[in-house]
Amino acid sequence: MHTPRRKRLLAAGTAWAVAATGAVALSFGLAGSASAGEFLVNGGFETNALSPWTCTGSTGSVVTGHAHSGTYALAGAASASDTAQCTQTVAVAPNTTYTLSAYVNGAYVYLGVNGGTSTWTPSTGGAYQKLAVSFTTTATQTSATVFTHGWYGQGTYYADDISLDGPGAPASPSASASPSIPASPSPSTSASASPSSSASASPSTSTSASPSPSTSVPPTGSHALVGYLHASFANGAGYLKMADVPDSWDIIDLAFGEPDSITGGTIHFNRCPVTECPGVESDADFKAAIAAKQAKGKKVLLSIGGQNGEVQLTTTAARDNFVNSVSAIIDKWGLDGLDIDFEGHSLSLNTGDNDFKNPTTPVITNLISAVKSLKAKYGAKFQLTMAPETFFVQLGYQYYGSGPWGGQDPRAGAFLPVIYGLRDDLTLLHVQDYNSGSIMGLDNQYHNMGGADFHIAMTDMLLTGFPVAGNTNNMFPALKPSQVAIGMPANTYAGNGYVAPAVVNQALDCLTKGTNCGSYTPRAGKQPNLRGLMTWSINWDNYNNNEFSKNFHSYFG
C-alpha cells in the first residue's frame, strides 16, 4: 500500500494494456473544451532544471540526449523502492475541462492528475509515445497536481513536452507541493492505466450469478468501517497511537507485516521506531490498547504486504514459514486475524494456469493452503480480509493470467483463485478502487476512478459475478453482500481516485437502495447488506479531520 508506505495501487485497471502484446495502443485523447492556454511551467524542461517540478526521493533529473523535442528531457530513475514520481501543482478554474498530455519513453510509465484520471503504457519500445487524459475540475476546485512516474524495478523513464491545455488565460501556477510523503498499495501503489478506445472485443455480458458461498456472516443490517493504521512507519499523515484511534473504526488493519525475503515466507511485524515516530507508545501500551479496542467489539488484524512487502510463497517450506511466523505475530499481540494486501509481483499465474477454480501455480496454491492452516488453528473467530487492486480482480473480466496463447501480463486477475479458494473463510473483500486505470464493467464500458460510477461498477462485479476472460463457461461466482466493502482513499494525499462525501453517498445510494445511480445500473440490484467501506488510511482520515469516517457513520447511522 505504500512506499515505505502509501497505498498506491498497481495500475489496476488496464487489462487492455496487459493484454496481448502489441494489441492495444495506450495513448488516447478525450475531447476537451476549446484550448486557449498552457497551464504548466517548464513542461519541456528547456530551462535545464526541474523547478517547479518536484520528484520523490531525488529520483528526477534533467538530461540531454533523450529529448523528444528541443535539448532537454525529464529522467525519472525508478528503483525497486521508488516509482520516481514527479509532480507540478497549478492553478485551475472550477467546472473546467483540461487535457493533460506528455511524450514518454520507457517501461510502465504513467501520466495523470491527483484525485482524478490517469493513463499508462507498459512499454514504448524504445521510442517516445504520447499519453493523454482529460479531466474536469469540480465546482470549487482551484488547483490541480499533475504527475508522471515509472514503476518499481523498471529502470529510468523519460518524459518531455508535458502539457496541460485548457480554456482561458493560464493563472500563475503554484509550485507548492502536498505534504511530504514517501511515494507509495496499494494494493496499493500504482497509478493507473486507461484503455485505448480500440480495446479488444468485450466479453459477453451474460453473467448469471453463481450461488454465494456459505460462510458465517454478520447480522443483517450490520455495516463495518475498515481502516489501515500506520503501525510500522510514519509519513506525512503523522503517527497515531492505537489508543487514540476513534471508536468509529470497526476493523483496524495494522500496516504492515512484511517478509524477511521475497520467497522465504517468514513475516515480521516491526513497530514504528521512536526515531521515526517520536510519540510512539510502548509495546505494553500498544498491546493494552488493542485489547481495549477488542473489548468494545472492534477487530484488529495484521495486514501483510503493501507496496513494499512483496511475498511469493514459491515452496511448501515458504508456506510453512508463513504460517508459523504469522501465527507468532497474532499470538504476541492478541490479534483477530489477517488482511492480505499482496501487491506488485506477489501473485502471478504460470503459463497455462487458466482455471481459477483449480489453480496450479505454487504462489497461489501455497497462499490458499497457508491461510486455511491459519483458519484451522484459530477457528471461527479468525477474521480474514483482502485488499487486492482492481488489476488483480475486476481486470479478470477481460484478461486472466498470460492468456490462452501467452503474451499477457500473468498478474491479470491473479487474485481470483485466492478469493475463490478461500470464499468460505472470507470475512471481507475490499478491493482498492483507487490508483487504478480504467476498467471495463459488466456494461462493457470502461469506467474511470474518481466518480461514483467507478465504485458502483467495480462493486457490482463482485456482487453479480462475471465470466473470467469473457468465458461464460468459467464464471467467477458472486460474493455475499456482507462479504464486500468498497475501498477508497481518505483524501487526495492518500491516493489517486479520492471522491468527496457526496460522491461516496451516491455510490452507496445506488448499491444499497437502487437510487441515484447515474449512468450505471447494477446488475445485482439493490443490496442493503453491503458490508461497508474501507479506506487508506486511518491516519490520513485523521489528518483530514475524520471526514471519511464521519461521513460513513452519518450515512449508516
Residues marked as catalytic: 343
CB burial string 83-102: b at 16+ within 10 A, e below: bbbbbbbbebbeebbbbbbb
Amino acid identity of residue 35, one-letter, is: S
Amino acid identity of residue 543, one-letter, is: Y
DSSP assignment, residue 186? B
Decide: 21 and 190 in contact? Cβ < 8 Å.
no
Closest CA to 312 of 371, 388, 364: 364
Cell of 462: 463482485
Cell of 419: 478469493
d(CA 465, CA 500): 28
Q: How many CB atoms lie within 10 A of CB 20?
A: 15
Packing angle, helices 547-556 and 501-508, rounded to 10 = 30
Tell me whether strands 428-432 and 484-489 are parallel, antiparallel or unpaired.
parallel
d(CA 358, CA 188): 26
- What's the longest Cα–Cα distance across the chain? 65
Burial of residue 466 (number of CB atoms within 10 Å: 0-12, 13-18, 19+): buried
Tell me whether strands 97-105 and 251-259 are parallel, antiparallel or unpaired.
unpaired
Closest CA to 269 of 281, 285, 245, 253: 253
Decide: 160 and 103 in contact? Cβ < 8 Å.
yes
Closest CA to 7 of 452, 491, 548, 551: 491
| Residue 128 CB partners (closer than 8 Å, separation 6+) | 68, 103, 104, 105, 158, 160
d(CA 256, CA 230): 8
Degrees to nearest 5, angle at CA 64 with 60 and 69: 100
d(CA 238, CA 230): 9
Compute the radius of gyration of the chain from its Cα atoms.
22
d(CA 452, CA 446): 13
Cell of 64: 540531454
Q: How many residues does the chain have?
A: 557
d(CA 440, CA 496): 18
Q: How far is CA 151 from CA 53, 96, 184, in A?
A: 19, 30, 11
